[in-house]
Amino acid sequence: MMKGLCFNRKHLCIPYAAFLILFVIAPLIVIFYYAFTNGQGNFTFDNFVNFFTNTNTIGTLLYGFAVAIVTTLVCLIIAYPTAYILARSKFKKKYVLLLLFILPMWINFTLRITALKEILSVLEGNISAYPFLNSVIGMTYDFLPFMILPLYTSLLKLDNSLLEAASDLGANKFTVFLRVTLPLSVPGIVSGVTMVLLPSMTNYVVLDMLYNSTFIPGSLIFSYFSAYDWNNGSLISLVLLIIVFIVTLVTNRFSDNEKDKRVAIL
Amino acid sequence: MKRFKNIVLVAAACLVGASALAFTGCADAEDVVTLRVCSWEEYIDLGRWDEEEAIELESGTIFGENAVYDDFTEWFNNGDHGFKVKVEYSTFGTNEDLYNRLSLGDEYDLVCPSDYMIMKLLAEDKIEEYSEEFLSFGGEENYYANNVSPYIDSVFTQYEWKNYAACYMWGTTGIVYNPDKIADEADVATWNILLNENYKKQVTIKDNVRDAYFATLGIINSETLTSSELSSVQLSSLLNDTDSETIAQAEDVLKRIKENVYSFETDAGKADMVTGKVIANYQWSGDAITIMDEAETDETNGTELWYSVPDECANLWFDGWVMLKNGIDGNAQRKEAAEAFVNFLSRPDNAVRNMYYIGYTSAIAGDTVFEYLDWNYGAEDDVETIDYDLRYFFGDDEKYIISADRSCFEIEDGDGQVINRGRQLFAQYPPENVKNRSVVMLDFGDKLAEINQMWINVRCLDLLDISPVTVGIICGVVALVAVAAVLYAFRYKLFIKHKPKKGYKKIEE
């Protein structure tokens, strides 16, 4: 018996396994169960068929995509030069600069969005007139650090001698960037994109707070749940899950670097 | 593997042991009953008033030092009940939130849902009936039965809730507005303001299907509602109409409302109204009072806001305390404690504390409450006054007429009757004629799914509504980006695995 109680390193994973089972596997099973049953608990594909034949739900999915993709692009456009400058600058305390970008993440995001709302009100006047624009601005504000960080790490470890070699071989600065820097930073771009694209598809609180009254998938799930319709709500969660899965599969092909994956988990 | 099993077993044993200990801990102190109460957020006085906030009435000073539920514990435990009580107070955000929690197995002894949710819980036989002792008039500590307003009592009798629910707060829904920014008072006298293009993107509506649907029915039936005298039964059936045809009609109206309003808001409307971002706001009466108070005292842009109950009809709502069967679970002591809790909240001085703190209107009548009203709203000596009649609520006695500031009400020219619009007192206690034009919105019942689908259709972007131009632009941009990326990848041979030439070998790092 005493021997049985012996503790070895494998047992360190018990907390994680318990967490995984309780909070990942079990909820997934519940989602699957509800997605393929109706209110009476009978097996059905109706929820599935309804989802893909209703122009409103598909429209919502597309709208969510539109917000997410535009947000991701804007983040990328802002984050790339920032990360590039940060990573290549000779400034000794660049961590301080980086900190400036990460700092907002330490403040609760509803607070930040409330502040943003006031700023936008001053700039735009009546902010309810530009719901899509505001949603994108809000999401960008919220998710920008998630884009900067992976880009920064992938650009930081870029080998300077490669750039020098390219210049030696006659490439001008632009060509060096296009043929060396950019391709080598693709893993960073990919993990940045994954980290911004997926959460911004469901973060409906930002839309709510910035007066966009059009639903995105997250708000649709909430709306079903508040009418006690667990089945349709679960189905949408499942659809989102499948989309996430596909995106991850595609991006994993590009991001073969262990370090970037670690950043992605951060 | 075996070792793993052992570890799990030991862990499980520890857990069981710990919980057993915890349970014996409870069992040892047999005479302490834990009362689990769940109510709306910010729906009870939490105490810690400033000293100048004390309400000094002739019958005594009312002051909130501690939270009401803590005062209850103290009050109850000092009494002679043969057991002690401990209150676990938690909150919920919406009725649906509460219902979902209950169906997921959360247990509460006493909850405070709205009228339609009480109906739903009643229909599902989840509500424990109040004891005869609680409901009977006269007992020394029967504060609820002794003090509840005759009006509330008649409504609860009419809907057959009386034995199951004890009304806590009640009110109407209406429109808070800024009279300076409104071109014509007639504009706010109708639900049509939500569609009024003169106020495009300047009015907010509640982000909740029931309130939105009610306003929509008001708009659809506007002519019938304003042109003829309807009996309360007719009113009720018109505004509780859930025919599929009506739902389809409501969908069209709501889609137009969505285009016209500033936003569907859950809580932001209060602040937006006070800061002047919007000029009118569909609001519950209690929050309307809070908004008016805040706007008045706001230092930078203090304004006088008004509350309007649209001519068509107002929604009359009630929140009531109900005991839940699965929480009480046949435990007589727990039931006694729950009933004592409701009685304590209904003690007039506590009712005043809650009213003062949250802005809503208590269901409790009685002289102390009236004295508070008089203290709060009674006119100063040097202003023109009107007699504001509250006899329907407090009881048939001449003393229940407040002499209030005339400038706080919209008054009909002819007979001097208060109509449809006013300030705090009007919002807190609607005049009898407004009350008579109001209806209770019943539970949607099995039409809920259909109405919710309608709501989703309104809020979602319909694929068919996207203009071909937009589709063209989006497709064009996507195609352009894709082509650029592919060209770039090809040009520089990215992501293509290079095979070593013949005779060469790739060196693994």
Instruction: Give the distance from residue B303's alpha carbon to the nearest chain A alpha carbon, in angstroms.
Output: 20
Question: What residues pair up with B114 in beta bridges, in sequence order?
Answer: B319
Chain B residues close to A66, C-beta within 8 Å: 474
Measured CA angle at B309 (ends B426, B150), to 5 deg: 55
Cross-chain residue pair B452–A208, CB shorter than 8 Å = no
Residue A15 to residue B369: CA distance in whole angstroms: 56
Judged by a CB distance cut-off of 8 A, whether residue B183 touches chain A is no
Compute CA distances B425 → B194, B313, B470, whole Å.
25, 19, 51
CA distance, residue B298 to nearest chain A CA (Å): 17
Closest approach of B375 to chain A, Cα-based (Å): 37
Nearest CA in chain A to B481: A73
The pair of structure tokens assigned to B393 is 């609520």
Any idea of the CA torsion for A221, A227, A231, A234, to the nearest 10 degrees? 20
Alpha helices by DSSP H, listed for B29-104, are 68-78, 95-103
Residue B474 with chain A: CB contacts under 8 Å: 66
Asked if the C-beta of B140 comes within 8 angstroms of chain A's C-beta atoms, the answer is no
Are B452 and A229 a contacting pair at CB < 8 A?
yes
Residue B185 pLDDT greater than 70, yes or no: yes
Cα dihedral angle (A176, A181, A184, A185), rounded to 10 degrees?
A: -160
Q: How far apart are the first and last CA of chain B?
A: 38
* Chain A residue whose CA is closest to B272: A118
Instruction: Give the residue from chain B lying closest to A52, CA to CA.
Output: B463
Count Cβ atoms below 10 Å from residue A175 Cβ, excluding itself.
Answer: 14
* Rounded Cα gap, residues A125 and A217, in angstroms: 29
Three-state SS at A90 = coil
Pairing of strands B203-206, B263-265: parallel
ipTM exceeding 0.90, yes/no: no
Residue B160: phi, psi to the nearest 5?
60, 35
* Nearest by CB: B492 against A179, A214, A225: A179
Does residue B452 sit at the A interface (CB-CB below 8 Å)?
yes
**Digit-coded pLDDT (tens) for B129-154:** 999 999 998 888 899 999 999 999 99
- List % helix, strand, coil for chain B (3-state, nearest 5): 50, 20, 30
- Whether A175 and chain B come into contact, CB under 8 Å, resolves to no
Q: Which of B93, B91, B89 has the alpha carbon at shortest distance from B67?
A: B89
Is B60 exposed, middle or buried, given 0-12, 13-18 or 19+ CB atoms closer than 10 A? exposed
Distance CA B383, CA B213 (A): 41
Please, which pLDDT band fits residue B299 given cuts at 50, 70 and 90? confident
Interchain pair B461, A62: CB under 8 A: yes
Higher pLDDT, B302 or B258: B258
φ, ψ of residue B174 in degrees (nearest 5): -165, -160
Beta strand spans in B10-124 (E): 32-40, 55-57, 60-62, 84-92, 110-111
B311 secondary structure, DSSP code: S
Residue B19: CB atoms within 10 Å: 10
HSE-up (13 A, CA, CB side) for residue B288: 31
User: Given CB atoms, is A48 within the 8 Å cutoff of chain B?
Assistant: no
Specify the DSSP class assigned to residue B460.
Answer: S
Question: Would you tell me how many other CB atoms lie within 10 Å of the CB of residue B129?
Answer: 13
Burial B96-114 (b: 16+ CB within 10 A, else e): bebbbbbeeebebbbbbbb
Minimum CA–CA partner of B465 in chain A: A59
Q: In the predicted model, is pLDDT for residue B264 greater than 50?
A: yes
Nearest C-alpha of chain A: how many angstroms from B315? 21
pLDDT digits (tens, 9 = 90+) for B426-457: 999 999 888 888 999 999 988 998 999 999 99
**In degrees, to the nearest 5, what angle opens at C-alpha B47 toward C-alphas B45 and B48?**
150
pLDDT in tens, B452-496: 999 999 999 888 888 888 889 888 988 998 899 888 888 777 666
Q: Residue B413: is its pLDDT beyond 80? A: no
Asked if the C-beta of B256 comes within 8 angstroms of chain A's C-beta atoms, the answer is no
Kindly identify which residue of chain A lies nearest to residue B464, measuring between CA atoms: A55
Note whether B97 contacts A226, CB cutoff 8 Å.
Answer: yes
Q: Do B459 and A214 touch (CB under 8 A)?
A: yes
The answer to whether the predicted template modeling score (pTM) of the entire model surpasses 0.80 is yes
High-pLDDT (> 70) share of chain B, % = 92
Tell me how crowded residue B508 is: count the other CB atoms within 10 A of its CB: 4
Distance CA(B199)–CA(B212), nearest Å, equals: 18
- What Å distances lie between residue B118 and B32, B142, B206, B286, B362, CA to CA? 29, 22, 21, 20, 18
**Which residue among B262, B263, B463 places its CB closest to the CB of A59?**
B463
Q: Shortest CA distance to B222 belongs to which of B313, B283, B317?
A: B313
Q: What is the DSSP letter of B437?
A: T
Nearest C-alpha in B relative to A184? B494
The gap between the terminal CA atoms of chain A, to the nearest Å, is 41
Average pLDDT, rounded, for chain A? 86
Average pLDDT over residues B209-221: 94
Whole-angstrom distance, CA of residue A3 vs CA of residue B350: 64
DSSP B350-391: HHHHHHHHH--EESB-SHHHHHHHHHHHBPPTTS-EEEEE-H
Residue B275 has pLDDT above 90, yes or no: no
* pLDDT at res. B44: 94
Task: Concatenate the DSSP letters of all residues of A37-54 into one string.
Answer: B-TTS-B-SHHHHHHHH-
Single-letter amino acid, residue A219 = S
Q: To probe the interface with A, which of B257, B460, B494 has the most A CB atoms within 10 Å?
A: B460
Mutate which of B461, B462, B480 to test chain A, going by most A C-beta atoms within 10 A?
B461
User: Residue B509 CB: number of other CB atoms within 10 A?
Assistant: 3
Whether A223 and B456 lie within 8 Å, measured CB to CB = yes
Q: What is the pLDDT of residues B19-76, one digit of tens each?
A: 444 444 444 445 899 999 999 999 999 999 998 889 988 888 999 999 999 999 999 9
Rounded to the nearest angstrom, the minimum Cα separation between A9 and chain B is 12
- Residue B102 contacts by C-beta under 8 Å, 6 or more apart in sequence? B108, B111, B121, B126, B324
| Chain A residue at shortest CA distance from B447 | A227
How close is the nearest chain A Cα to the Cα of B262, in Å?
6
Confidence of residue B156 (pLDDT cuts 50, 70, 90): very high
Predicted confidence (pLDDT) per residue in A64-73, tens digit: 999 999 999 9
> What tokens were used for A169?
């071989």
How far away is chain A from the Cα of B295, in angstroms, using its nearest Cα?
18
